[in-house]
Structure 1
Amino acid sequence: MWWWALLLVLLVFIITFYKSCFSYFKNRGIPYLKPSIPFGNATDFFLDKVSFGALFRDWYLEIKKNNWPIGGAFFCGKPVYIPVDNEIIKKILVSDFLIFPNHGLYIDEKVEPLSGHLFNMEGYKWKNLRAKLPSAFTAAKMRRNVVIMEGFTRELVKRLDQNQSLDIKDVLSRFSIDVISACAFGLQSKTLENQNEELIGHSRAFFDVQWSRTKNTLVVLIPRYILSFFRFKLFPKETSNFFLNLFRSVKEQRQEETTKRNDLAELLLDLCDKTKDHSDFSGKGKMEALSFNEIAAQMYFFFEAGFETSSSTLTWILYELAANPNIQNRLRQEINEILQKYNGQIVYDAINEMEYLDRVFDETLRKYTIFSILPRVCIKNWAIPGTNLKIDEDSFVMISNYGIHHDPEYYPEPMKFDPERFTSENKAKRPYCSYLPFGEGPRICVGKRFGIWQTKVGLVAILRSFNVTLSQKMKMPLTFETAGFVLKAKGDIWLDFEKVNNNNDKFI
């Protein structure tokens, strides 16, 4: 009978432990959602009913319904602050950024070299690198990149002109990989031509493995020093080795070249040149040269983020245009009219004139927020504006941009796809930080401009050539994967592409 006593003691311990955890917000006067043992407020996540992003969206909307400016919830026993009031969100992301500077995700460059990328980096190292990278995405460099991107649209159009239903995400992933490889690293990956399948396979590790359900849970629940002690790895060893070898070959190739490319790889390789002096983020001191592993981690991050987010965004745009032919026809008309002014050429200035294209793009990222959470860690006690409450040092804060984008206060009928939400007049009615697909403040996505242009160039090339419709293979209603970090459809997005005749065909 001794094991019954042991089981009883264990049960009492677990209940006492959780009751202690669940008193966290009550003891601080913060309103909170009622948790339950053992998953806190995350039961639906652990039962595989919702994704990580959808979980925090649901928390945001429930707290908003209760008219709380900020609320608490529990991921198992871990307390998470969920800000809802727009002014509080703006303070955390922008004006009080120095108190919330880090994402708080796992990083251990000794155990996992590729974890040391910009999204995970913290402190002085992050400030130095973040100050340097915008120069890789200037308007002048984007003009050059648009020319390169346009070149790949010809192979993209060939792939779509098959007179059969296509799994569009696969095709667009290949297009995006070819574009980011060429623009950022000077590589010809040729995945649209069904080459380099190994690159395709390893490319999926960043989102399918690093930010899987299991690893999301471990990184949120277990302190970083414990993960490091057990030599926790985000990626399979073969994936890390593949990309380290790939970027090592880029470095070796650049050392043999005499011409300047002025791309991201050149910028990063310049920062690892120990013979050169580089000022730090303040402009007053010197920053230490980057190691090869540090530049490889940045190359890896920009490669992954550049291909996955752009291909996902373009997939969702085409899905919505197929489902809303009136919107598709209006956008095609704008594209054709403006391209005629530029002799049918897809160029930077032409796309810059496409106002309705902007609205369609913005509405897509509102409804389908690819990066659906904005995590932050509070590094010292912070008084919550408009209240007599505070957020404690080392607390985990999660801003749900996915929740904000589905907040009916800002976006009535949030599941309706309506580009008119993003006319200049309608945007002016909404407060700052009510649209956050790329984040905001100093941590805003540094590659935002590249991702936008890559998506738009691909979309313009597709719509001027094809009418897009939903395939009979498409399983409806649309549902979403629950396993990963980024927003993905459950199953494939199947579309049909019918060639259209227009005055720009001769330029394709």
Structure 2
Amino acid sequence: MAEVCTSQPEVPAPFTSHPEVPIPLSSQPEVPGTISSIPMEVTDGPMVGVACGPLLSIGLLMASCLLLLCYLLGHHRYWRALGVPSPPATLLMGHTLRRMGLSQPFMEFFDELYYQYNGSDFCGYYDFLKPGLFVGNPELIKSILVKDFDHFTDRRTFDLGKVNPIANDMLTNARGNHWRMIRGIVSPTFTSTKTRRLYPLVLHRAIHFLHRATRTATSGPVEARELCGRYTMDTIASCAFGIECEALTTEAAAFPAVAAKIFQLSLVRAFKILVLLVAPRLAELAHRLGLEFTSPEFHFFRQVVTHTIRKRQETGLWRGDFLDLLMETRAHGKKGLSDDTIAAQSILFLLAGYDNTANTLAMTLHLLAHHPRVQAALRKEVARALLKGRGQLTYDQVMSLPYLDAVVSEVLRLYPAAPVIERVCTKNYTVGVCGLEVGVGMGVLVPVWNVHRDARYWPHPQQFLPERFLGSARASILPYTYLPFGAGPRSCVGVKFALLSVKAGMVSLLTNLEVLPCPASPHPLPLDPRVLTLQPKDGVYVNLRPIELQKTVEHETIIYGATA
């Protein structure tokens, strides 16, 4: 008992464990006041280092992301810092997707800028991270496009000199002095005098247009875009490339098919455009490594033009077409007009003229079908002119018919060939009295679509009223509120030819056919929200009925009275 009572439990001293035989921690009893009772995370130095490594990496990553976010958001604070209204921008993309119609119809985005963010005067937007100016004020439009043009000489284009030199020679793509040189060469070929020389070729195609329309009408509703597209394709092939599409030649047979491909936007072509837009230097490097940016269609058209030029030089053949006019200009010693430059303008003729002219013609047919009184008045005017001209109309007579011009002008107000005009600042500029500075390289958008439909300038803007462009009404139109072909030195150089094609086609059609509405194309016509040329979403369908001109005019006069 004494032994039991006097024996004491052995408590290990804190520092008595043998250094070479460590005692497992789990086997050591915890005694207050010993080191074993202290929490281990305080004393475990190596494990703290292991834990701090990932935490430090995560912290650095978060800090980097925060800095990047601040950098991106900082670019999108540009307009706010200047007190200029601008809608909220999407991170990194800005308003690019909305402006291009990729995330919503571009018309809706333009309406938002114009009516909600002071775009009817001016407001800001962002192309990716780059600020741009949206200008709807007619006085500012005049300054940018005409008065102070030397500050905005360039369009927003790609520099294709290293990857597609043919496209870079196009008048619309050229910049600076290169543009001035090409403009000085091309402009004289589109004067009224020179365009008059193209009239016999256009008239010949207009007759074929009528024959094709008459044949198509017998099988039911006619898709007007397709019908008018064939007419404009034939006209351009004849006037710009010296090709008659009905001719039994290899070029004539291939031309419509190849031309159609140039308007098809494949994934590969879309990728190339994106690379040119975002990283032009990368595009140049890719071109050096073998990626071709000049499409096979461009090579085809260049070969056609070169072959035609050589053939005419050898044979002395003269047709009075666009190629002859350019060759004539070169023969008079105009420098800089190489075969490639001539080919580039011919291809531009196709790109700029085919789709826009076909669309204008198709929209004209649609609007006339749904406005029979306007159609009757137009047919009566044409019939009177034909009576005076003994069944034929000259170039001057076609171009000077007042109601025909009013109808086409009103169609172009509602559906302008270019619903937006783009310019790039090439010299620092101060905007009006507000003192806003526009720097070199900043893009400027002029929203033709909105200005043409602004009720302040056009009463009842959604209605089709050709009378707006007659007599005193036309004279009262506020300058720079009607811009279907742009304005100033960089306006559409081929406007006279485009109007001739549309008017000649309408004269030919209306004297032999009546245009009637089709249930497949309601009015107003839904537009494709992802196309920037105001194309109809589901085609343009009309019914065509053969008529005898004199009887139809008499019948329509009875129905509509003196207004028809």
Equivalent position to 1:382, from 399, 410, 429: 429
Asked which structure has the greater CA Rg, the reply is 2
Q: Distance in 2 between matches of 1:211 and 1:363?
A: 36
What letter is aligned with 2:136?
Answer: V
Residue in structure 2 matching 1:440, options 487, 494, 498: 487
- Alpha-carbon distance change, 269 to 61 in structure 1, aligned in 2, over 3 angstroms: farther
Distance verdict in 2 for CA 1:216–1:56, change over 3 Å: farther
User: Residue type of the partner of 1:179?
Assistant: T
Deviation at 1:90, TM superposition (A): 0.3
Q: More displaced, 377-386 or 23-32?
A: 23-32
- SS of alignment partner, residue 545 of structure 2: strand
- The alpha-carbon deviation at position 178 of structure 1 amounts to 1.4
Is 2:101–2:529's contact at 8 Å kept on the other side of the alignment? Answer: no
Corresponding position of 1:130: 183
Are 1:183 and 2:239 matched, yes or no?
yes
- TM-score, length-scaled by structure 1: 0.87
Aligned to 1:268: 326
Equivalent residue for 1:393?
A: 440
- The offset of 1:324, in angstroms, is 1.2
- Amino acid in the other structure paired with 1:79: P
Q: What is the CA deviation profile of residues 262-294 of structure 1, one whole-angstrom value per residue up to 9, with x for unaligned ones?
A: 432134345667xx633xxxxxxxx4x333322
- Distance in structure 1 (CA, Å) of the matches to 2:146 and 2:328: 30
Partner of 1:282: none
Q: Which one is further off, 132-141 or 382-391?
A: 132-141
Following TM superposition, by how much is the alpha carbon of 1:378 offset from its aligned partner in structure 2, in angstroms? 0.7
Superposed counterparts of 1:251-262, under 5 Å = 251-262=309-320
Query: Which whole-Å CA distance do the structure 2 matches of 1:18 and 1:487 have between them?
Result: 33
1:413 maps to a residue whose letter is H
Deviation string for 1:29-83 (max 9, x for gaps)? 4332332435434554577454556644542343447x6x321012333311011
2:301 is matched by which residue type in structure 1? F
1:94 is matched with 146
Contact 1:99 1:382 in 2 (8 A): yes
2:168 paired with 1:112: no
Amino acid at match of 1:189: C
Specify whether residues 110 and 477 from structure 1 end up closer, same or farther in structure 2 by C-alpha distance, changes over 3 A only.
Answer: same
Q: Unmatched 5+ residue regions in structure 1?
A: 279-286
Question: Which stretch shifts more, 75-84 or 310-319?
Answer: 75-84
Q: Quick check: 1:346–1:457 contact (8 Å CA) kept in 2?
A: no
Q: CA deviation at 1:12?
A: 2.9
1:360 corresponds to which residue? 407
- 1:16 to 2:70 alignment: yes
Alignment RMSD (CA, Å): 3.3
- Residues 1:305 and 2:352 are matched in the alignment: yes
Distance 1:218 1:22, change over 3 A: same
Match of 1:426 in 2: 473
What does residue 284 of structure 1 align with? none
Q: Secondary structure at the match of 1:170?
A: helix
Instruction: Give me the identity figure in percent.
Output: 26
Following the alignment from structure 2 to structure 1, what is the Cα–Cα distance between the partners of residues 388 and 70? 72
Cα displacement (A) at 1:451: 0.4
**What count of residue pairs does the alignment treat as equivalent?**
491
Residue type of the alignment partner of 1:139? S
TM-score (norm 2): 0.79
Given that 1:374 and 1:399 are in contact with CA atoms closer than 8 Å, whether structure 2 keeps it comes out as yes
Distance 1:476 1:416, change over 3 A: closer
Is 2:196 the partner of 1:149? no
Aligned partner of 1:277 among 333, 347, 366: 333
The worse-fitting range, judged by mean Cα deviation, of 483-492 and 87-96 is 483-492
* Residue 307 (structure 2) pairs with residue 249 (structure 1): yes
- Residue in 1 that maps onto 2:562: none
User: CA contact under 8 A between 1:212 and 1:485: conserved in structure 2?
Assistant: no
Work out whether residues 454 and 461 of structure 2, in 8 Å CA contact, stay in contact via their aligned partners in 1: yes
Q: Alignment partner of 2:489: what SS?
A: helix
Q: 1:393 to 1:480 in 2, by over 3 A?
A: same
Task: Verify the 8 A CA contact 1:336 1:504 in the aligned structure 2.
Answer: no
In structure 2, runs of 5+ residues without a counterpart are 1-53, 553-564
Confirm whether residue 74 of structure 1 aligns to residue 126 of structure 2: yes
1:222 matches 2:278: yes
| Greater relative CO, 1 or 2 (CA 8 Å, sep 6+) | 1
With over 3 angstroms needed to count, the CA separation of the structure-2 counterparts of 1:180 and 1:104, relative to structure 1, is same
Q: Which of 188, 209, 214 matches 2:265?
A: 209
Paired position in structure 2 for 1:159:
212
Which whole-Å CA distance do the structure 1 matches of 2:114 and 2:276 have between them? 18
